[in-house]
C-alpha cells in the first residue's frame, strides 16, 4: 500500500542525503536512515550522535513505495533503519527486507494501549517494527466558526448546511476508509461488494466540498478561512499552527476515525544492526518521543505515554482524549495490490467528477 506523507506543515522542503554513493556506503561511524521528515531535526538526532560517536545520514521519503524504489537502486547494506507506515510492516517482512526485533529491547508496556498491535508489526511470531508516532485522519476544523459538538457526528460533512465549507484531503486510503465508517462498515476489511455504496458516499462528500487538495492546499484553505472543515484532517494539520492559529483544532467523531501509525524498523541487510537497534531504542525514549511528537515538520502523538511533553503541548495534542480516540479509530486497511488499484481508480473517478 502506497502511503503519502501524513502531516507536512506549510512550506516544508524535503531534505535528501547529499553525495550518496560508494564513499557514503563505505563510510564508518555512520548510520543510514530512510525516513520521513519528522526524524530529521538536529535536536532529535544530536543526542544520539554524541552518545554513540556516529553521524546519522538520512534520505527523505514520503511513502513505502518511495522507500522500495530507493532500496531497488541501492546495494545490500546501504541502509540501516527504515521509518514506515506500520500497515506495511508485514509486506516488507515477507519480502525479507526487515530484521526481527526483540520486544524486550523496547518499552512496550509504556506504549499507548491499542497502538502496539501484533496485527501490524508481528509476522509468524516475530516483531519487525515498533510503533513510534501516530495520529488521525478524521476532522480538522476552525473552532471560531464551528463548535466541536456540531462535528461529533461523522455524518456532518455530508450535511447540506456545510456545502462549500469543506475541504477533502486528497489521499484515497484514509478518506475511503472514513467513508466506510460513515456507512457503518469495517474500514479495515473492505471488499468489492462495498464499492457501490462507497462510490455513492464519496460522490456525496465531493458534491459538498469546495475543494480536494494535497496537504499544503487543504491546510492553507483551513488556515485562511476558505473552508471551516477538513475531512481527513487531524493533529498533523492543526497542532503545528497552534501558536498562530489557536482556533484550529481536530476531533474524532463518536462513530470513529482513521488512525495512522508510524513504525521504526531495522533492515535485514544492515551491517550495523546493533547501532540501528540502538537508534530505534533511542527514538522510543521519553525524551526523543517528545521531540518527535513536536517536530518542526509535523506534530503527532508519541507512541510512548511517558514522552516528556509540556502540559501546554499535551493540551494541543488533546492528550486526555487519546484513550477514547484510539478505542474508536481503525488503522489503515492492509490492501492487496489489486484492491489498492481498484480503490485508486474509484477515488480518481469520483473526485474528478465535479
Q: Which residues of 114-149 are buried (b: 16+ CB within 10 A; e: fewer)?
A: ebbeeebbbbeeebbbbbbbbbbbbbbbbbeebeee
The pLDDT of residue 28: 59
> Which residues partner with 45 through β-bridges?
none
The pLDDT of residue 328: 95
User: CA separation (Å) from 334 to 7, 55, 185, 322?
Assistant: 20, 35, 15, 23
> Which residues partner with 101 through β-bridges?
127
Round to whole Å and give the CA distance between 249 and 251: 7
Round to whole Å and give the CA distance between 120 and 126: 11
The pLDDT of residue 334: 85
Which portions of the chain are predicted below pLDDT 50?
Answer: 1-26
The pLDDT of residue 353: 75
Q: To which residue does cell 524504489 refer? A: 69
Type and span of the H or E element at 259: strand 257-266
CB 152 within 8 A of CB 125: no
> Which residues partner with 35 through β-bridges?
60
The pLDDT of residue 11: 29
* Contact residues for 146 (Cβ-Cβ < 8 A; gap 6+): 228, 229
The pLDDT of residue 337: 84
The pLDDT of residue 354: 61
Round to whole Å and give the CA distance between 115 and 330: 10
The pLDDT of residue 62: 82
Round to whole Å and give the CA distance between 314 and 9: 19
Pick from 169, 177, 150: which is nearest to 231 by CA? Answer: 169
The pLDDT of residue 4: 41
What is this structure's pTM? 0.89
Amino acid at each position: 500500500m502506497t502511503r503519502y506523507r501524513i502531516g507536512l506543515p506549510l512550506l516544508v522542503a524535503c531534505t535528501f542525503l547529499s553525495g550518496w554513493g560508494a564513499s557514503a556506503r563505505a563510510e564508518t561511524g555512520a548510520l543510514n536512515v530512510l525516513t520521513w521528515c519528522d526524524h530529521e531535526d538536529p535536536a532529535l538526532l544530536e543526542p544520539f550522535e554524541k552518545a554513540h560517536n556516529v553521524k546519522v545520514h538520512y534520505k527523505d521519503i514520503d511513502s513505502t513505495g518511495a522507500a522500495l524504489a530507493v532500496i531497488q537502486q541501492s546495494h545490500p547494506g546501504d541502509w540501516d533503519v527504515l521509518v514506515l507506515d506500520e500497515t506495511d510492516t508485514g509486506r516488507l517482512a515477507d519480502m525479507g527486507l526487515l530484521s526481527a526485533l526483540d520486544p524486550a529491547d523496547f518499552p512496550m508496556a509504556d506504549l499507548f494501549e491499542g497502538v502496539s498491535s501484533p496485527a501490524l508489526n508481528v509476522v509468524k511470531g516475530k516483531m519487525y517494527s515498533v510503533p513510534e508516532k501516530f495520529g488521525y485522519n478524521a476532522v480538522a476544523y476552525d473552532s471560531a466558526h464551528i463548535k466541536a459538538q456540531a462535528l461529533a457526528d461523522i455524518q456532518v460533512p455530508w450535511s447540506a448546511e456545510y456545502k462549500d465549507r469543506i475541504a477533502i484531503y486528497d489521499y484515497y486510503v484514509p478518506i475511503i476508509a472514513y467513508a466506510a465508517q460513515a456507512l457503518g462498515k469495517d474500514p479495515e476489511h473492505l471488499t468489492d461488494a462495498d464499492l457501490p455504496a462507497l462510490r455513492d458516499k464519496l460522490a456525496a462528500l465531493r458534491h459538498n466540498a469546495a475543494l480536494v487538495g494535497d496537504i499544503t492546499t487543504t491546510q492553507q484553505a483551513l488556515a485562511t478561512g476558505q473552508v471551516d472543515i477538513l475531512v481527513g484532517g487531524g493533529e498533523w494539520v492543526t497542532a503545528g499552527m497552534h501558536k498562530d492559529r489557536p482556533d484550529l483544532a481536530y476531533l474524532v467523531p463518536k462513530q470513529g476515525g482513521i488512525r495512522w501509525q508510524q513504525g521504526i524498523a531495522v533492515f535485514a541487510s544492515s551491517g550495523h544492526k546493533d547501532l540501528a537497534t540502538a537508534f530505534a531504542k533511542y527514538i522510543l525514549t521519553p525524551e526523543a518521543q517528545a521531540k518527535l511528537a513536536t517536530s518542526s515538520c509535523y506534530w503527532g502523538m508519541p507512541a510512548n505515554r511517558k514522552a516528556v511533553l509540556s502540559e501546554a503541548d499535551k493540551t494541543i495534542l488533546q492528550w486526555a482524549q487519546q484513550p477514547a480516540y484510539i478505542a474508536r479509530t481503525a488503522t489503515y486497511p492492509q490492501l492487496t495490490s489489486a484492491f489498492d488499484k481498484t480503490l485508486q481508480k474509484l477515488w480518481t473517478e469520483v473526485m474528478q467528477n465535479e
